[in-house]
């Protein structure tokens, strides 16, 4: 590996499973300390036990859509490791409907987790980041820190049935470009990775959970949300994808790792699409 993240600390939201877990694993393999975050404490304990280098991992269970939780997660990271050098705003889920069936609650839920949560995480981290950069400047040091916000081709291209999700993910791009301008003076690279179809529970064939055969649903705030993609649509999307397949969580994590690494020290305000060439 042409770089190391030894001595660096990363906060990865939504890292109990799927892409977030794969990102955490990649960062740990590169030498970083990692704070895991997800909703479910038991899931986080299982994930922490699965990861290599458990001595470099802490976790905090929190619902990031509650107003105080993002600051609490940032504080927990600083308390555990004494620093935050990398922030990956990955937490999220889909709640799809055509617009005439989309409720205010549904639309707001997508904004809350995909756009407002990253804003609150970054706002909470700003005091540490600014003070650390100023302290380093007095010693003529340049320490590059990293923010990677997760967007989607639904945000860059739009996608039928995803007015809330697509709007929130488009907003992530605006937040990314704005923070790149605000935080450049503090030596922070702020970039986004936009995913296409990645092999997670959100893109299982609609109506079935592979492990049980039962309907695939997600429980959020008292709502039973169906997840998955109709089998015919999934096959069509694979055919339209130049690479002819879904991406793996490890491939998704690789794109994020680039932006977390010194290889991207002169890249900021950019959006990298990791979607196998697929566009909606």
pLDDT in tens, 162-199: 999 999 999 999 999 999 999 999 999 999 999 999 99
Residue 52's pLDDT band (cuts 50, 70, 90): confident
In this structure, the answer to whether residues 133 and 206 fall within a common structural domain is no
Percent of the chain with pLDDT over 90: 85
In this structure, the answer to whether residues 192 and 84 fall within a common structural domain is yes
**Dihedral angle computed from the Cα positions of residues 272, 18, 214 and 46, in that order, rounded to the nearest 10 degrees:** -170
In this structure, the answer to whether residues 93 and 218 fall within a common structural domain is no
Residue 211's pLDDT band (cuts 50, 70, 90): low
In this structure, the answer to whether residues 194 and 213 fall within a common structural domain is no
pLDDT value at position 67? 97
CATH number for the domain that contains residue 56: 3.40.50.720
Q: Give the pLDDT mean for 92-116.
A: 97
- Decide if 3 is inside a domain: no
Which residues span the domain enclosing 210? Answer: 202-246
35 has which bridge partners? 11, 58
- Of 23, 11, 91, the C-alpha closest to 51 is 23
- Decide if 1 is inside a domain: no
Distances (CA, A) of 221 to 39, 100, 159: 11, 22, 25
- Decide if 147 is inside a domain: yes
In this structure, the answer to whether residues 74 and 163 fall within a common structural domain is yes
In this structure, the answer to whether residues 234 and 188 fall within a common structural domain is no
Asked if residue 275 has pLDDT above 90, the reply is yes
- Decide if 269 is inside a domain: yes
Asked if residue 212 has pLDDT above 60, the reply is no
**216 or 138: which carries more pLDDT confidence?**
138
Q: Which residue has the tokens 């992530």?
A: 172
In this structure, the answer to whether residues 107 and 229 fall within a common structural domain is no
pTM: predicted TM-score of the whole model, two decimal places: 0.94
In this structure, the answer to whether residues 150 and 221 fall within a common structural domain is no
Catalytic residue among 93, 128, 165, 186: 165
Asked if residue 257 has pLDDT above 90, the reply is yes
What CA–CA distance (Å, rounded) separates 36 from 60? 6
- Decide if 222 is inside a domain: yes
Give pLDDT tens digits for 6-30. 999 999 999 999 999 999 999 999 9
226 has which bridge partners? 217
Residue 267, judged by CB atoms within 10 A of its CB (0-12, 13-18, 19+), counts as: middle
pLDDT value at position 196? 96
Average predicted confidence (pLDDT) for the chain: 94
Please tell me the total count of domains within the chain: 2
Q: Is 165 a catalytic residue?
A: yes
- Decide if 280 is inside a domain: no
pLDDT value at position 233? 86
Asked if residue 209 has pLDDT above 80, the reply is no
Residue 38's pLDDT band (cuts 50, 70, 90): very high
In this structure, the answer to whether residues 139 and 155 fall within a common structural domain is yes
In this structure, the answer to whether residues 102 and 13 fall within a common structural domain is yes
- Decide if 108 is inside a domain: yes
In this structure, the answer to whether residues 45 and 17 fall within a common structural domain is yes
Asked if residue 214 has pLDDT above 70, the reply is no
In this structure, the answer to whether residues 67 and 190 fall within a common structural domain is yes
Give pLDDT tens digits for 120-157. 999 999 999 999 999 999 999 999 999 999 999 999 99
- Decide if 67 is inside a domain: yes
């Amino acid at each position: 590996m042409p770089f190391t993240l030894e001595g660096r600390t990363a906060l990865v939201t939504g890292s109990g499973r799927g892409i977030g877990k794969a990102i955490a694993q990649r960062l740990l393999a590169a030498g970083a300390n990692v704070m895991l975050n997800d909703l479910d404490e038991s899931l986080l304990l299982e994930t922490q036990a699965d990861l290599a280098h458990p001595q470099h991992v802490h976790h905090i269970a929190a619902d990031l859509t509650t107003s105080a939780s993002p600051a609490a997660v940032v504080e927990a990271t600083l308390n555990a490791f004494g620093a935050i050098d990398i922030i990956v705003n990955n937490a999220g889920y889909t709640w799809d409907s055509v617009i005439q069936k989309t409720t205010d609650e549904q639309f707001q839920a997508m904004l809350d987790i995909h756009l407002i949560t990253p804003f609150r995480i970054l706002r909470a981290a700003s005091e540490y980041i600014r003070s650390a950069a100023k302290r380093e400047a007095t010693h003529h040091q340049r320490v590059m820190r990293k923010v990677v916000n997760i967007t989607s081709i639904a945000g860059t291209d739009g996608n039928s049935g995803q007015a809330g999700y697509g709007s929130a993910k488009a907003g992530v791009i605006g937040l990314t470009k704005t923070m790149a301008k605000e935080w450049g003076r503090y030596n922070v690279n702020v970039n986004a990775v936009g995913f296409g179809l990645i092999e997670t529970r959100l893109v299982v064939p609609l109506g079935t959970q592979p492990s049980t055969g039962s309907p695939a649903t997600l429980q959020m705030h008292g709502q039973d949300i169906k997840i998955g993609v109709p089998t015919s649509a999934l096959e069509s999307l694979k055919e339209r994808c130049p690479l002819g397949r879904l991406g793996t969580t490890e491939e998704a994590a690789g794109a994020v790792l680039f932006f977390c690494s010194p290889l991207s020290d002169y890249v900021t305000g950019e959006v990298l699409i990791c979607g196998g060439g697929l566009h909606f």
